[in-house]
A and B are shown apart, each in its own frame.
Chain A
């Protein structure tokens, strides 16, 4: 089964690499990051510009990136259902759940690609225009350059699971509807609704997106020389909540897909 999933995943990627729309998100991500210094300047002044990274990366990954992941993932299955190409795929030696798993891996790869593009572009920009030499407080080195980079990678690592849960969430709408536009509208609309309601309803701790934001707060605090903030125990909650959401959306999607009649 694993071999078939990986095989289907490699076919997915081979097809995606040849589609122009695949590159839209990463290209826009690069443009947004490159334009950010106009709003949040970077200067070569011997002050570390980690605070720029703490500003631009959550914006790029958590705001723009998540919307791109929602849109991209929402079209992964609905497009196949809409144009009928799912029938070509599912008459091959591939089970429906394996097909879904390959799509999920595809979505995860897109998340990873966006994160890498964001990280690479922001980091390159700061290296080029600013300084990265640790975080100081009153001439005292609080965090070395190496520690800050480790911290940055930990932050991104902790936001990955919530982002994977976003893929699972969007794939649910992609499986439930036959039309890509409907899938996008439902997943983005549902997302916006949830984001707008989670604080008034005091349910933010049960919503996985909250855990995509929390690690950046810690990173931002460290950039501002606050030493008290910690990833824990929020990181554990983040893993738990994201895993639960991923499993729930995957189970419901697989149930829907297994019962779907794949006729035009």
Chain B
């Protein structure tokens, strides 16, 4: 897959505060990429630098192989952006806002398609000043989708949306990625959204990249957490703790929870059987991205 976005030693400081610290990252075309991090981690600042709204203190942003600063117009023609808390022409209707924004694009724009994708078809004549937060969010998404962009940058896309609309938007984004090959970069606080939508996830904390890997790999970490039902959990836990490939083993009623250094459950089962324990069941405990996120941040 060719690279869509290349960040090279990107740094942004606001006075003495380092918001993003030498971030180097590649995002491939057609990928759904999630940025995770606690509040103030530098997610929004990173996304703002990708959209040209914030100038990096140092480093370079390349999108579609072009330098963002010098080739901003040609890049922006292929990019759709949803910023956090989007603002519009309050005195105009939804339809008028979209038609005015469409005039910036050199392409022929299908406003109806954008409103349908964002679930706003029935609200085109509504004045923006009367819209709820969730509807404004959907209007922001419609604006981002207006020019059928190759790259979507979305800062908290489902913020303020109800469950039904959140699911609808996630389905739309997944459809765009799978069927239209749209590259999507998004930040979110909703771990389950990122987990279900993103191909790859980067975790940022205090401006630093903590980890970046495919969602599958991050969740495969789950295989290292095993729940084994056996006859003598206390003894087994004590015995397991002596092994270097076991990070922790905790006995609970009738079972032992084992955290393996490597995701190799077969080794664990073989070891327990070889040591004469009667195993009635062994279940890889399902971990979520949230568990992983918290573990990474805590470590």
- Could you say which residues of chain A place their CB within 8 Å of the CB of B87? 83-85, 87-88
- Could you say which residues of chain A place their CB within 8 Å of the CB of B163? none
**A15/B100 contact (C-beta < 8 A), A4-B73, A91-B51, A93-B77 known:** yes
Q: Which of B3-11, B103-111, B233-241, B268-276 contacts A (4 or more CB under 8 A)?
A: B103-111
Residue of B44, B51, B83, B92 touching A15 (CB-CB under 8 A): B92
- Could you say which residues of chain A place their CB within 8 Å of the CB of B55? 258-259, 261
Residue of A83, A91, A259 touching B81 (CB-CB under 8 A): A91
Instruction: Let me know if B101 and A18 touch, CB within 8 A.
Output: no
A95 adjacent to chain B (CB < 8 Å): yes
B90 adjacent to chain A (CB < 8 Å): yes
**A264/B91 contact (C-beta < 8 A), A95-B73, A259-B55 known:** no
- Could you say which residues of chain A place their CB within 8 Å of the CB of B73? 4, 93-95
Closest residue to A83 on the B side, CB-wise? B87
Report the separation of the CA atoms of residues A70 and B73 in the bound assembly, to the nearest whole angstrom.
Answer: 31
A226-264 CB contacts (< 8 Å) to partner B = 258-259, 261-264
Instruction: Let me know if B53 and A88 touch, CB within 8 A.
Output: no
**A264/B53 contact (C-beta < 8 A), A10-B103, A11-B100, A93-B76 known:** no
B279 adjacent to chain A (CB < 8 Å): no
B294 adjacent to chain A (CB < 8 Å): no
- Could you say which residues of chain B place their CB within 8 Å of the CB of A4? 73, 104
* Binary flags per residue of A1-32, CB closer than 8 Å to B gives 1, else 0: 00010011011001100110000000000000
Residue among A10, A18, A84, A92 having the largest count of chain B Cβ atoms under 10 Å: A92
CB distance from A174 to the nearest CB of B (A): 17
Instruction: Let me know if A263 and B54 touch, CB within 8 A.
Output: yes
**A91/B91 contact (C-beta < 8 A), A11-B100, A261-B55 known:** no
- Could you say which residues of chain A place their CB within 8 Å of the CB of B65? none
- Could you say which residues of chain A place their CB within 8 Å of the CB of B143? 88
Interface footprint category on A: 20 to 34
Instruction: Let me know if B83 and A87 touch, CB within 8 A.
Output: yes
Instruction: Let me know if A261 and B92 touch, CB within 8 A.
Output: no
Instruction: Let me know if B84 and A264 touch, CB within 8 A.
Output: yes
Closest residue to B97 on the A side, CB-wise? A88
B65-93 CB contacts (< 8 Å) to partner A = 72-74, 76-77, 79, 81, 83-92
A113-139 CB contacts (< 8 Å) to partner B = none
B40 adjacent to chain A (CB < 8 Å): no
Residue of B79, B81, B88, B104 touching A94 (CB-CB under 8 A): B104
* Binary flags per residue of A73-89, CB closer than 8 Å to B gives 1, else 0: 00000000001110110
Report the separation of the CA atoms of residues A14 and B143 in the bound assembly, to the nearest whole angstrom.
Answer: 18
- Could you say which residues of chain B place their CB within 8 Å of the CB of A92? 76, 101, 104-105
Instruction: Let me know if A261 and B54 touch, CB within 8 A.
Output: yes
Q: Which residues of B contact A (CB under 8 A)?
A: 14, 44-45, 48, 51-55, 72-74, 76-77, 79, 81, 83-92, 96, 100-101, 103-106, 143
Q: Which residues of A contact B (CB under 8 A)?
A: 4, 7-8, 10-11, 14-15, 18-19, 83-85, 87-88, 90-95, 258-259, 261-264
Can you pick out 27 interface pairs between chain A and chain B where the beta carbons lie within 8 Å of each other?
Answer: A4-B73, A4-B104, A10-B103, A11-B100, A11-B103, A15-B92, A15-B100, A18-B96, A83-B87, A84-B85, A84-B86, A84-B87, A85-B88, A88-B88, A90-B52, A91-B52, A91-B81, A92-B105, A93-B105, A94-B73, A95-B72, A258-B55, A261-B53, A262-B48, A263-B44, A263-B48, A263-B54
Known contacts A87-B83, A93-B72; 13 additional CB pairs below 8 A are: A4-B104, A14-B100, A15-B91, A84-B83, A87-B53, A87-B86, A88-B83, A88-B143, A91-B81, A92-B76, A93-B105, A262-B53, A264-B85
